[in-house]
Chain A
Amino acid sequence: MDLRDGPEEAAFRATLRTWLEANVPSGLRGFRGWTGPALALGRDWSKRLAQAGYAGLTWPKEYGGAGRPWRYQALYLEELARAEAPQHLGVIGLGMAGPTIIAHGRADQKTRYLAKILSAEDIWCQGFSEPGSGSDLASVRTRLDLVGDRFVVNGQKVWSSYAHVADRCILLGRSTTASEKHEGLTYLIVDMKSPGVEVRPLRQITGEAEFNEIFFTDVAVPKENLLGEVGGGWRVAMTTLSHERGTFGFALAGALDVAVRKLVALARERAGTDALVRDRVAREWIDLQALRYTNYRALARLERTGVPGPEGSVAKLRWSEANQRLTKLAIEIIGQEAQVAEGDGAPAYWRYQQLRSRGNTIEAGTSEILRNIIAERVLGLPRSR
């Protein structure tokens, strides 16, 4: 047990810190989401990250990655958060589509897709959830009909981040109506420029649009875009979702670290002597440390076993609830001024963060589903359905 950086880790961290100071574009400093002017800078920023060797840190070298142990991805996420700099725009490609292709793809698919994920030439989005299939993913109804040498795709996907800028989509649909659940599922790679693909941004509670609906109308997808087997899509989808949890906790703790620092500054400025506020700020600080050190434990386990443990669900669950509490405390401290939407000072920042946080307990696995996962898979309680 040693919580200090080793020499190599310290060197990596120092180099990255210096690099970030010199390279984060001014328009992306204090980043709070891929909206508005930030989005225009996203691809160029991501290319710069890739050129400096910070894309695909944990990907095997044979696929263009850095082949580094997981801890470097953790350090990278910590430093990015510290600099309040955004991640690579292609997080779905880097964290989900890429690892899924590495695990299930053919050699020609690896050649075709992986390098462009790293370089940010191709941005990916995820087509899993549907209006009728949220938590119950295996019930998706988007049809993938095999006609000759192509699939014909018809259906609707929803809550798809990055779809409005994406070049490709990992799509889960149903290739046979004979089977209702997992067995009929098939996993495809879809070119977002194909005729019949329509993306409609969804305006969120914050007023901004970070995610989308995707409509597929008779979209022709070559059979070679199949990932895994026809009818074997569930297994492939599970690979995608398990990668969503890898070092995800570090990104979350990093974001929370920034939020706690800003909360501390806000409380110092506006509520320094209020005992109740002080107590709540201390609670949030303690929760942040708990999350941070839980991530380190998870990392040690991931490096030892290669498989993310249940800590990923723990981190997501607690981060989302902490972020909701914390942002609400901030707007309470600010008072009615936080109800004014204009301006770009602290009130506007916290107003946005507080409203945005309501999505945290819903996106990437609702808190209810995460509690089910913990109850059933970790504690071994009987299935609730």
Chain B
Amino acid sequence: MDFSFSPEQDQLRAQARSFLEKRYPLGRLAEIATSEDGWDRASWPELARLGWTGASIPEAQGGAGLSFVEEAIVFEELGRALYSGPYFSTVALALPALGCAPDLLAKVASGAFTATLASGPAVQARGAGDRWRLRGETDLVADAGSVDAFVVQACGPDGIGLYLAERHNARPHVNVLDTVDATRRLGRVTFEDDDARLLAAPPAAAKIIAGTRRRALTALALEAVGVASQALAIGVEHAKSREQFGRPIGAYQAVSHKLADTYVETELARSLAYWAAWCIAEDDGQAELAASAAKTYAAEGAVAACERAIQVHGGMGFTWDHPLHRYYKRALWIESFDRSGAAHRADIAQVLLGG
């Protein structure tokens, strides 16, 4: 029994934190969020060079052959830095399906390829020689405007399968929506007989879809922990330096106890997220429960952490210029993903109570 990271994993975290702090200081968040793309495209080859895009990809395909635990470390640090590139989309949402195609894995590892998951009940796939044609619309696709390709959950002749549609010549049609979290924009992707390649047919696809959901929930739990940690750090810094009535406001327990609560909840969320990450890496039987528990707890904790930090900042925390709202919006994005906390808890109650 050892619930700690190895020295190599600690080193990965230190490297990630130092790279991201230098590259994305708080002062740059606004510039990136308001840019046309909403992310710093030049960062992707660097993430690949650091070994992050291929962390869990086998060495034969140019990856590091590590596990989800290493990816977990990167997710947490990217959340802390509010990284806006399609790492979550590519590594959490698309990678399990891309695993069916070693050539694509190699491209992800080398940084030459990004993707996201597009799922909608209405996309139809029909065969066209050894290729496929997709038709239909998917909504609320994460990073739709940033990626090179879409892993599409579509209805084929034998049921739900997973297909890959690469973007070229403005196809498929992507409409990026004005998204509250401008650092992770949602989009609508419309397929009109667009060319695709089959990644997984049913029933294998169903297994990949379930695994992808667990990965995504856990990745977001880790991101949420990073977001909450940063919101806490920003709040603590302010409480130490801002003086009222002749004392730093952090000396008042009405302020300090709020921040202490954020610390406690963030540590508990971190424990759940690491547990879920280990379950995913080991394909443990509790992975599904752990992912649900971690995501709902960490997402709600991150939202609360940001809300407390905003309150501690007073009027300043309510302004557009202060970076806190960007963390808050990411926390809200994470909370909204998949299903509400109540729905996850209903699943957990089902396991505990039956009925």
Chain B, residues 266-282, CB within 8 Å of chain A (1/0): the string is 01111110110010000
Q: Which residues in A have their C-beta under 8 angstroms from that of B9?
A: 1
Q: Which residues in B have their C-beta under 8 angstroms from that of A193?
A: none
Q: Are A293 and B3 in contact (CB under 8 A)?
A: yes
A379 sits at the interface (CB 8 A): yes
Chain A, residues 266-291, CB within 8 Å of chain B (1/0): the string is 01100011010011011101110111
Which residue on chain A has the smallest CB distance to residue B343? Answer: A279
Please tell me which one of the listed residues B236, B272, B342 contacts residue A293 in the complex, with CB atoms under 8 A apart.
B272
Q: Are B275 and A3 in contact (CB under 8 A)?
A: yes
24 sample A-B contacts, Cβ–Cβ < 8 Å, listed by A number = A1-B9, A2-B1, A267-B353, A279-B346, A281-B352, A282-B352, A286-B296, A286-B297, A286-B345, A289-B272, A289-B293, A293-B3, A293-B271, A293-B274, A297-B4, A297-B270, A300-B3, A314-B264, A314-B267, A317-B264, A379-B263, A382-B250, A384-B252, A384-B253
User: Which of A6, A297, A376, A379 has the most chain B CB atoms inside 10 A of its CB?
Assistant: A379
Please tell me which one of the listed residues A71, A267, A368, A375 contacts residue B1 in the complex, with CB atoms under 8 A apart.
A71
A17 to B176, CA, bound (A): 58
Chain B, residues 1-40, CB within 8 Å of chain A (1/0): the string is 1111110010000000000000000000000000000000
Which residue on chain B has the smallest CB distance to residue A376? Answer: B256
Known: A279-B345, A279-B349. A300 touches B268 (CB 8 A): no
A294 to B4, CA, bound (A): 11
Distance (Å) between the CB of B315 and the closest chain A CB?
Answer: 21
Q: Are B239 and A381 in contact (CB under 8 A)?
A: yes
Please tell me which one of the listed residues A279, A293, A382 contacts residue B275 in the complex, with CB atoms under 8 A apart.
A293
Q: Which residues in A have their C-beta under 8 angstroms from that of B272?
A: 286, 289-290, 293
Q: Which residues in A have their C-beta under 8 angstroms from that of B349?
A: 278-279, 281-282
Q: Which residues in A have their C-beta under 8 angstroms from that of B148?
A: none
Please tell me which one of the listed residues A282, A300, A318 contacts residue B348 in the complex, with CB atoms under 8 A apart.
A282
A209 to B172, CA, bound (A): 74
Distance (Å) between the CB of B56 and the closest chain A CB?
Answer: 15
Chain A, residues 4-41, CB within 8 Å of chain B (1/0): the string is 11100100000000000000000000000000000000
A314 to B239, CA, bound (A): 21
B260 sits at the interface (CB 8 A): yes
Which residue on chain B has the smallest CB distance to residue A3? Answer: B278
Distance (Å) between the CB of B50 and the closest chain A CB?
Answer: 21
Number of A-B contacts (CB under 8 A): 152
Q: Are B278 and A379 in contact (CB under 8 A)?
A: no
Q: Which residues in A have their C-beta under 8 angstroms from that of B355?
A: 268, 272-273, 278
Chain B, residues 60-72, CB within 8 Å of chain A (1/0): the string is 0000000001000
- Residue numbers of B with Cβ under 8 A of A are 1-6, 9, 69, 232, 236, 239-240, 247-248, 250-253, 256-257, 259-261, 263-264, 267-272, 274-275, 278, 290, 293, 296-297, 342, 345-346, 348-349, 352-355
A207 sits at the interface (CB 8 A): no
Can you list the 8 inter-chain pairs with the closest CB atoms, starting with the nearest? A300-B4, A296-B3, A282-B345, A293-B271, A375-B256, A278-B349, A290-B268, A381-B250
A290 to B294, CA, bound (A): 9
A200 sits at the interface (CB 8 A): no
Please tell me which one of the listed residues A1, A282, A383 contacts residue B4 in the complex, with CB atoms under 8 A apart.
A1
A9 to B240, CA, bound (A): 45
A301 sits at the interface (CB 8 A): yes
Distance (Å) between the CB of B164 and the closest chain A CB?
Answer: 33
Which residue on chain A has the smallest CB distance to residue B345? Answer: A282
A372 sits at the interface (CB 8 A): yes
A378 to B266, CA, bound (A): 13
Distance (Å) between the CB of A342 and the closest chain B CB?
Answer: 29
A372 to B263, CA, bound (A): 12
A81 sits at the interface (CB 8 A): no
Distance (Å) between the CB of B355 and the closest chain A CB?
Answer: 5
Q: Which residues in B have their C-beta under 8 angstroms from that of A371?
A: 253, 256-257, 260-261
Distance (Å) between the CB of A312 and the closest chain B CB?
Answer: 12
A267 to B50, CA, bound (A): 50
Q: Are B1 and A381 in contact (CB under 8 A)?
A: no
